[in-house]
Amino acid sequence: MEELKEKADHQAIRKKKEVFVERRKQRLDRREDDQKMRIILEGSPIPTFVITKSHRIIYWNKAMEALSGINAENALVRGSAWNKFYSEKRPSLADLLVNQQIDEIEKWYPGRWRKSDLIDEAYTVTDFFPGLGERGKWLRCTAAVLRGHGGELFGSIETLEDITDRKNAQDALKKSEEFLMAVLEGSPIPTFVIGTDHKVLYWNKALEEISKIKAETVVGTRNHWKAFYKEERPCMADILVEEQIEEIPLWYAENYTKSKLIEEACEGTDFFPAMGENGIWLRFTAAVLRDSDRMLLGAIETLEDITGRKLAEEALRENEKKYRTLSITDGLTKLYNGRYFYQQLRTEIERSNRYHHPLSILFIDIDNFKNYNDTYGHLEGDEVLVRLGKVMSRCLRKADLAFRFGGEEFTAILPETEGDDATVLAERIRKEFKREHFNPQETAIVKVTVSIGVARYLFEEQFSSVLKRADKNMYRAKELGKDQVFFDELI
């Protein structure tokens, strides 16, 4: 029995020794782990501190010293690190987690916190700390609960990241964006912006005014086309977003050009019948928007109502046309005037020589017109001139041109006409005019006649030669008794 007892005692002693050794090994391992953790935390560039369940600081690394200006000894021994971060004593995020006061986070960090997506029982806050540095610092603080192998809570770790530069950059960017939005919003130039998905990102007040479409009804949609067209089709900004500049002519024909000032931009002018009461003319410029890495962001399009300018240009063209017509038209007879006769005759002679096509002219003179004027007055004489102009207009063909050469002399240019055919036309004019009745004294009817000379242009002859022949033939008609047509190529 004694041997059995002695053996059991030896086993118990050996067991105790084994337990002691194991516990000592675990303590050494934990001490080694703690030492490694200290080394890791100490060498980490991320400001970090650790607190126990009793809120005592047990780790305060060099990066934390640099950020806070408090050395580890003061932080660990005095525990007064809060005054570098807050004006009054209050819990840090790590303190709230140690106390399991998750509901209190909103109280101390209203609207500036969120639960971590990566770590259980971890939270992140972003806040401004005016006591840090010369002008304060923006910090992103992330705290997590620390638990042992058995799940018991023994403390909390908190890391801090100085995001002051990033925050300032974000604030500057935000102010820049707000300024840009204010500029666009206040701009008198109708403007809209679309993203790469063709959805409207921006629609300013000037565009609201011209399109009668409010921003809230179009922003976030692809319905910007409705402001300009009755049926769905791409705007220029849409084509640029697709980077299909070669497609622009399919939609805008020749009404566009590439911008000379802006890269990846096009300009166009078109009439939009769906806009306004009677449609409007717009000049539009669309340009691609890219970020600093040349990634496509979308496109911007600006519009300018040029309806007034277009109407003014059209009115100017009409006036120019009117003034040109007046400059080449005889005010009394409404036929072309003598100056235009010379211009057109030169043109027809050049064409006749180039293609060897026939050309003839008529010289027409009213017989005894001076006596008629002296007898019945200039107003009655003007009536004779007007009536002759109307007779010529009725008798000549569409391709023929009639002119009042000056005084009582008239001319006609007959393209594609031989001398004999021109003589037939001249006879038609003479007979038609002779049928006209004039009643200058409201008593007796007076007949007025004309004498007409015909000349056919001879290829390559001088301009003045055909004029002289026509004039001579006209006077020959008068010499033969007036009221007749004379044509002789040999004169």
Fold classification of 180-306 (topology level): Beta-Lactamase (3.30.450)
How many helices (H) and strands (E) the chain has is answered by 16, 18
Question: pLDDT tens for residues 283-327?
Answer: 999 999 998 888 999 999 999 999 888 888 888 888 888 888 888
The arithmetic mean of pLDDT across residues 204-213, rounded, is 91
pLDDT at 310: 84
pLDDT at 125: 94
Q: Give the global pTM.
A: 0.49
Place of tokens 């005054």: 83
Place of tokens 């063909």: 397
For residue 15, pLDDT over 90 is answered with no
The arithmetic mean of pLDDT across residues 371-389, rounded, is 94
Concatenating the DSSP letter of every residue in 83-145 gives GGT-SS----HHHHHHTT-GGGHHHHSTT-EEE-SSSTTEEEEEEEETTSTTT-EEEEEEEEE
Concatenating the DSSP letter of every residue in 29-86 gives HHHHHHHHHHHHHHH-SS-EEEEETT--EEEE-HHHHHHHS--HHHHHHH--GGGGT-
Tokens of 394: 């009725």
For residue 355, pLDDT over 60 is answered with yes
Cα distance between residue 289 and residue 296, in whole Å: 6
Q: How confident is the model at residue 159 (pLDDT cuts 50, 70, 90)?
A: very high
Cα distance between residue 188 and residue 413, in whole Å: 57
pLDDT at 9: 65
Fold classification of 328-487 (topology level): Alpha-Beta Plaits (3.30.70)
Cα distance between residue 286 and residue 235, in whole Å: 9
DSSP single-letter state for residue 293: T
For residue 40, pLDDT over 70 is answered with no
Q: What percent of the chain has pLDDT over 70?
A: 90
Higher pLDDT, 182 or 281: 281
Q: How confident is the model at residue 20 (pLDDT cuts 50, 70, 90)?
A: low
pLDDT at 38: 57
How confident is the prediction for the chain on average, in pLDDT?
88
For residue 386, pLDDT over 90 is answered with yes
CA distances from 476 to 308, 409, 472, 487 (A): 59, 15, 6, 9
For residue 30, pLDDT over 60 is answered with no
Tokens of 33: 């782990």
The arithmetic mean of pLDDT across residues 385-414, rounded, is 96
For residue 269, pLDDT over 60 is answered with yes
pLDDT at 28: 56
pLDDT at 1: 62
For residue 245, pLDDT over 60 is answered with yes
The arithmetic mean of pLDDT across residues 70-85, rounded, is 72
Fold classification of 44-162 (topology level): Beta-Lactamase (3.30.450)
DSSP single-letter state for residue 150: T
User: How many Å from the N-terminal Cα to the C-terminal Cα in the chain?
Assistant: 173
pLDDT at 442: 77
Question: Per mean pLDDT, which range of 39-53, 215-229, 300-314, 458-472 is the poorest?
Answer: 39-53
Q: Residue 267: CB partners within 8 Å, gap ≥ 6?
A: 256, 257, 258, 259, 283, 284, 285
For residue 373, pLDDT over 70 is answered with yes
Residue from 414, 397, 408 nearest 361 by CA: 414
Question: Per mean pLDDT, which range of 199-208, 233-242, 254-263, 407-416 is the poorest?
Answer: 254-263
